[in-house]
Amino acid sequence: MTKLLPFIIALLTTSTLTACVTQNYGNDKATPLIENESSKNEIAMTRISLGLGYLKMGNTQQAKLNLEKAKRFAPNLVQVYTAFAHYYDTVGEPDLATQAYEQALSLDGQDADTLNNYGVFLCRHEKYAAAEKQMLKAIAIPSYILVAQSYENLALCQLKAQQFEKAEIYLEKAIAHSPNRASSLLQMMRLQYAKSEYKSAQTYLHRFEKSTRRFNPDALALAFKIFEKQGNKRISKNYANMLVKMFPHSFESKQYILNELSVIDADKLAEEYRALQRGEHTNSNKKRVVVLSPKTSVNEEKTGLSRDGLKPIMANSVMPTKVEEAELKAKSFNANETSEVKTTVKQNEANAKDSGLVQVEKALETPEAKIDEPVEDDKPMVSLPIHVVKKGDSLFAISKQYNIVMKSLQRWNKLRRPYILKIGDVLYLADPKSAANR
């Protein structure tokens, strides 16, 4: 009997660990109901991700359809309303977007991402004081980790309002919280250049180059101008050569060849600063409210900024929970990751099929229809795990993030070399065929 005791204990332990689903019984106490291990909130999160994926590609109809389904699953989920706010903002319905943000904050007034995004939205609509208030509320929340980005948003908003001193203070705070934040350093370079503080701009240029190994046309053009203004022709020429060789097809490169970059974006900011110093561009209340001209889509890609420089922090709020655990707070509606959409509805549908949105949507239909109903063949319902590609992702990085072999990701998503991923693409993190047969 003593010899059999370890075997009996092991057998009992094994039987305890083999349970993988929770069983409840119907009214007759005989037919077991297999509950979906994914909660309604998780399914809603996946629907939100699908909706945002469609919205990024310009398919607003499918985007709203998925957001409405998310709302049915989780009517009290904050992320549902922040997603709707972004949707309404995208389709040009600011009043409805405002209502959605207010609804989200009525559910959780301490959701820092929502506060930041609401502030970005208000700034875009030139409600600068209200925008500043919302973003400062987000920063004040102790658990909020994207403080540097919100301070940078505040600075860019103040630049739109021509509050240059406050903009500089907020950029200093952004850099203090994240000393190697390249976008903040680049904006500080731009501001110092606008103020004709070329030595200070040069200092931030060196810090920018040290913090990032990746050059972009905008930074090289600004570096050229900083040294040119100081009369250092040799170094300015070096930056110009780098610009032309590294980015021959860029707008800045063409402008250098045409007119040696006589006017860049920072020059426009400098002119506004000088006009302000002369007492111009003030309204009847003597508030500085001149708005900078929006950046073009070309500038968006090269600087990593949105059309007005502000960066919503929203993808981290709308990713599925299981994916969210594995991802750093990335931000998707991330205006800094958006690109110009110029496809027709049919092309959007084709792109959706290629990126997996349609397949993922179909995979969700079964749990959606039967989440609270008996499941045939006693099979647990499956929510297919996915990853929505964000800026900086690569197939290798994704495989490391989820501890999945690259060849498996390649096979599941029908990828071919070279593995070119686009922001907003949806990748399966499991075999769709095996998941469908489970």
Single-letter amino acid code for the residue at 157: C
Q: CA of 252: how far to CAs of 132, 205, 240, 340, in Å?
A: 33, 18, 10, 19
Q: What is the chain's Cα-based Rg?
A: 26
Is residue 87 pLDDT above 80, yes or no? yes
Per-residue model confidence as pLDDT tens digits over 149-186 = 999 999 999 999 999 999 999 999 999 999 999 999 99
Q: What is the pLDDT of residues 204-250, one digit of tens each?
A: 999 999 888 778 999 999 999 999 999 999 999 999 999 999 999 99
pLDDT confidence band for 362 (50 / 70 / 90): low
Any idea which of 139-153, 231-245, 304-318 has the lowest mean pLDDT? 304-318
Per the CB < 8 A criterion, the answer to whether 314 and 67 are in contact is no
- Going by C-beta distance under 8 Å and a sequence separation of 6 or more, which residues neighbour residue 219? 186, 189, 205, 208
Provide the token pair at 24.
């409840």
The single-letter DSSP state of residue 197 is -
Q: For the domain bounded by 147-308, which CATH number is listed? A: 1.25.40.10
Q: For residue range 343-354, what is the model confidence (pLDDT) as tens digits?
A: 344 454 455 454
> Where would I find the H helices in 108-181?
112-124, 128-140, 147-160, 164-177
| Domain boundaries defined on the chain | 147-308
The pair phi, psi for residue 312, each rounded to 5°, is -65, 155
User: If you write DSSP's letter for every residue of 285-344 in order, what string do you get?
Assistant: T----PPPPPPPHHHHHHHT--TTS-----HHHHS-HHHHHHS----SS-GGG-------
- Longest alpha-carbon distance in the chain: 98
**In terms of DSSP bridges, do strands 23-25 and 426-428 run parallel, antiparallel, or are they unpaired?**
unpaired
For residues 110 and 100, give the distance between their C-alpha atoms in angstroms, rounded to a whole number. Answer: 16
For residues 74 and 298, give the distance between their C-alpha atoms in angstroms, rounded to a whole number: 38
Question: Do 308 and 187 touch, CB atoms closer than 8 A?
Answer: no
Could you tell me the two tokens for 209?
């180059």
- 417 backbone dihedrals φ, ψ, rounded to 5°: -65, 145
Q: What's the confidence (pLDDT) of residue 309?
A: 63
